[in-house]
Amino acid sequence: MQRTHLRWLRPVALLVSGIVLTLSFTLAGCGGSDDDDDVFISPSPSPSSAFNPSPTPSPTASPSSGLTGTVTGRVLAPDGRTAVSDALIYVPSDQTRALSLRTGAGRAAPEPAITETRTDANGNFALAGVPAGDTVVKILKGQWLIKTVVSVVAGGTATVPVAQTTLPVTGAGAARIAVVVGAFDRMEDVLAKLGLGEVENGRLKQGTERFDIYGGPDFNVPGLPQSLGDTNSLVSDAAKLAQYDIVFFNCGADEGPLENAAVRQNLRNYVQNGGNLYVTDLAYDYIEQSIPEAIDFFGADGVPIGTAEESGTAEVGASDVASNADVQDDNLRNWLSARGALRPDGKVRIEGFLSGWGVINKAETGGKEWIRGLLVDEEGSRSAHNHRHGKGRSRGRQVSVGETRTLTVTAPFGAGKVLYSSYHTEPSEEQSSELRPQEQILAYLVFEL
């Protein structure tokens, strides 16, 4: 991805038009099972790759005039359908602020605001106290930014067209993403169903991805898009890593590069300087070996916090377990509820764990627990495969039925953040374009980095 990008606070608003894909995908924690608790949402047609920028902002608002109005709208994911919860909507104090070009994987500091609000579970917002005139309004969510000009009449309400509140697919204001493929997970399909590619037979259609793919030839992943190189070509090159806002490591990704101390340092520096890692299940060592102080994974007693343990130590999850888990974050819980993804008891179904899934103890200082649940027996597994562990270690006791475990966390490190989930998508032979509740969690979290 050799192109120049602006920081997340950019002066040009980008619009996503013609994108009508409803988020939908099939997930499980290294496997899965059909269950009466599953809730499905049907897909919309594949998105168009086109998007149109809004006119260059020419603000005329006068904050000192005291005349204000209200701005309303709805923020959507790049698919043009999925509501974005808890996005920040604000009017910057400096209406003419010019932002420099982005030069690395960093994140600009929040700027002073005249007024601000957040979107609700359905993506809706009402921003009061907006200065009358042609006023710059910014929408910020994770690594995405929209900057637009809204004509506000004193005492009136202006509604922003949805085309101006849909997160961009590529270009200024869009997250720059790399995906490292794995044998047991397909987060690239999740991204496609969020509007960052077209979906065909439940999977990312080759050649339509609006992000970069990396991965070695040893993994037999049907339908894998053209790779820009193997995993090592990305993680061994600090400058290449710095081109991306988020790097995904799918469960079963090649871990060979982690044997190189320079690679571990590259990943550490990348996050410390503002980059973000999104890691699932067996790929946990991409966090443990490079930033061990971010998340406390299962391991030997007495090992000091911040010390990396032997590769594979946390892969002690038992097979054929599931969880009716508690959602620890109010915004995520409300969003799932609005989409009909919660059980009657307010919990969310997590299923499909197979032998050796990665186990979390807790996020370290400043981290956030998203999903936590009691492990129970799972019935009727439909998984087509199991983990093929190649680390040659005896794992001792397994984390199994009857234990309550943290299943999804995020943790800050420097200017960046890491996310880890013990469950993930299921690249089985029975692909579906329908969405299970736990899949919606992982989609929601794409916008939390």
Same domain, 379 and 285: yes
- pLDDT, tens only, 44-68: 333 333 333 344 556 776 666 789 9
- 137 and 55 in a single domain? The answer is yes
Question: Does 4 map to a domain?
Answer: no
Q: Which of 123, 144, 164 is the last residue of a domain?
A: 164
**Which tens digits make up the pLDDT trace of 164-190?**
999 999 998 999 999 999 988 889 999
- Determine, yes or no, domain membership for 368: yes
The residue from 138, 164, 190 where one domain ends is: 164
Range of the domain at 120: 47-164
Residues 222 and 268 in one domain: yes
pLDDT, tens digit, 9 for 90 and up, residues 126-148 = 999 999 999 999 999 999 999 99
Of 118, 140, 164, the one marking the end of a domain is 164
Residue 211 belongs to a domain: yes
Task: Report whether 195 contacts 144 (CB < 8 A).
Answer: no
Percentage of the chain modeled with pLDDT above 70: 75
Q: Assess whether 151 and 184 both reside in one domain.
A: no
What CATH number does residue 55 fall under? 2.60.40.10
Which position has the token pair 């690594």?
143
3 state SS of 358: strand
The answer to whether position 13 is within a domain reads no
Residue 264, both tokens = 């571990």
DSSP secondary structure, 377-415, as one string:
E--SB--S------S-----S-B-TT-EEEEEEEEEETT
- The answer to whether residue 98 is domain-embedded is yes
Does residue 6 form part of some domain? Answer: no
**Mean pLDDT for the stretch of residues 285-293:** 98
Q: What is residue 398's predicted lDDT score, i.e. its pLDDT?
A: 86
What does the pLDDT look like over 302-349, one tens digit per residue? 888 889 999 999 999 998 899 999 999 999 999 999 999 999 999 999
Sequence-separated (6 or more) residues with CB below 8 Å from residue 430: 382, 384
Q: Are 124 and 188 in the same domain? A: no
The H-assigned helical ranges of 55-186 are none
Residues 240-256 have pLDDT tens digits of: 999 999 999 999 999 99
Q: Place 413 in a pLDDT band, splitting at 50, 70 and 90.
A: very high
Same domain, 160 and 235: no
Q: Provide CB contacts within 8 A for 159, sequence distance 6+.
A: 71, 72, 73
Distance CA 176, CA 246 (A): 7
**What's the number of domains the chain is made of?**
2
Residue 95's pLDDT is 86
Looking at the structure, do residues 145 and 204 belong to the same domain, yes or no? no
Residue 236 and residue 152 in one domain: no
Strand blocks (E) in 67-159: 68-74, 88-92, 113-118, 124-131, 133-141, 144-152, 157-159
Task: Say which amino acid occupies 427.
Answer: P
The residue-averaged pLDDT of 261-273 equals: 98
Question: 395 vs 410, which has greater pLDDT?
Answer: 410
Q: Is residue 17 part of a domain?
A: no
Q: Are residues 103 and 208 in the same domain?
A: no
Query: 225 in a domain, yes or no?
Result: yes
Task: Tell me, yes or no, whether 112 and 233 share the same domain.
Answer: no
Report phi then psi at 166, rounded to 5: -95, 130
Which CATH number goes with the domain that contains 350?
A: 3.40.50
Residue with tokens 């980059």: 275
What is the SS3 assignment for 369? strand
Is residue 84 domain-shared with residue 179, that is, in the same domain? no
**Do 127 and 179 fall into the same domain?**
no
In this predicted structure, the answer to whether residue 384 has a pLDDT above a threshold of 80 is no
> Does residue 193 contact residue 107 with C-beta atoms inside 8 Å?
no
Looking at residue 395, its pLDDT comes to 53
